[in-house]
Amino acid sequence: MGEKELRVSKIRDGTVIDHLTAGQALNVLAILGIDGSGGESVSIGMNIPSDRLARKDIVKVEGRELSQSEVDVLSVISPEATINIVREYEVVDKKRVERPEEVTGVVSCPNRNCITNADEPVASRFEVLSDGLRCGYCGEIVREDEVATNLDVN
């Protein structure tokens, strides 16, 4: 890529979340619980022309790798995403996200009466549908576009 085309700088160590569905970058930050207060260096590209997708978003986080639950939730809002682990400027691991059968933690159930919202030590668990999530306890549906507003982070 020529100098004129470089949009987001390379990172030294951390994670590049690439091929995100255009428009999802800020939701990805929400899933990662990143709001700037943690001090990590974060670069974001939105609506970047891409070969594989017409447009993509990209998020680069220095000094941080993602947990499996974070990747699981990310796959719901960005099924084409690629997770690249970077060390000393080199991509040392690259994998496509996979849609898991269920996701635990990270998302909270929007049903106020759900057992997961009571003062009980019950962690959230959702079945992954083609277009959203279904609470494993009360059956409440969280549509794909509602996932970001029902995160159990921060």
CB 80 within 8 A of CB 19: yes
In the complex with ligand CTP, the residue whose CB is nearer, 58 or 147, is 58
Q: Taking CB under 6 A as the rule, does residue 18 contact ligand CTP? A: yes
- Is 114 marked as a binding-site residue? yes
The one-letter amino acid at 99: R
Q: Which residues contact 37 (CB under 8 A, 6 or more apart)?
A: none
Of these, 29, 140, 147, 148, which contacts Zn ion (CB under 5 A)? Answer: 140
Of these, 135, 142, 147, 148, which contacts Zn ion (CB under 5 A)? Answer: 135
Shortest approach of Zn ion to residue 116 CB, angstroms? Answer: 5
Give CA–CA dist 101/98, Å, rounded.
Answer: 9
Angle of CA points 53, 58, 144, to nearest 5°: 70
Q: Taking CB under 6 A as the rule, does residue 55 contact ligand CTP? A: no
Give CA–CA dist 52/143, Å, rounded.
Answer: 25
Give CA–CA dist 52/31, Å, rounded.
Answer: 24
Of these, 39, 89, 98, 130, which contacts ligand CTP (CB under 6 A)? Answer: 89
CB 20 within 8 A of CB 71: no
Of these, 24, 82, 108, 124, which contacts ligand CTP (CB under 6 A)? Answer: 82
Contacts with Zn ion by CB under 5 A lie at 109, 111, 114, 135, 137-138, 140
Contacts with ligand CTP by CB under 6 A lie at 10-11, 16, 18, 58, 60, 82, 84, 86, 89, 91, 94
